[in-house]
Amino acid sequence: MNWYSAQNYCRKNFVDLATIKNNRDNKQVQGLIPTYKYPWIGLYIEPNHHWSDGSSVLFTSWDTTGILIGSRAVICGSTSTGRSGRWKMLSCETRLPFVCYGPPVVKQVVRLRLHAKDSVDLNDPVLRGHILMTLQDKLQENGVSGVTLKWRVHSDGKVFKKEKKEL
């Protein structure tokens, strides 16, 4: 896709084209695209450097080859997976793969203590699924949406551990 179509796709389905704020972000984007491809990122120049999401360009990783700066009114940025994440500015009409970013993923671990009769196996997959659905329903009833619940499975394949009773 050209840069504008890629930006439109990202905005409809995720948040925007990738914004690279540091070397870690740059390496992360490199890992998403097969080697020797130049995917679009959210960088463009019109006439100054901007990120598609409106944030400031504070980190850069320019490639010294193929820079079109000054040759056109608007040029768009791509990054190289084969040249250590170096950025190139190209005609925005060039057809390239692209990298989108989504909303930040927030992981939170909540410990749950359940009291059950000795005859109930809380590690039964059907019962665990029912408990998870019940918790999800309770969250929705309380206006919480967009949350994915899942169990943390221990190395022994179990979710729940029986607490030892203290004497």
Residue 60, H or E segment? none
Alpha helices in the chain (DSSP H): 3-13, 23-30, 125-141
pLDDT in the model for residue 162: 82
Q: How confident is the model at residue 95, as a pLDDT?
A: 93
Hey, what amino acid is at 81? T
pLDDT of 7: 95
Per-residue CA distances from 66 to 36, 47, 59, 107, 138 (Å): 15, 18, 19, 41, 56
Whole-angstrom distance, CA of residue 40 vs CA of residue 147:
30
Closest CA to 158 of 107, 104, 121: 121
Cis? peptide before 47, omega within 30° of 0:
yes
Q: pTM of this prediction?
A: 0.58
**What does the pLDDT profile of the chain (167 residues) look like in tens digits?**
999 999 999 998 888 999 999 988 888 888 887 666 789 999 998 878 889 988 889 998 888 765 555 555 678 999 876 667 788 888 899 999 999 988 766 677 788 888 887 788 888 989 998 999 899 888 889 888 777 788 888 889 888 888 777 66
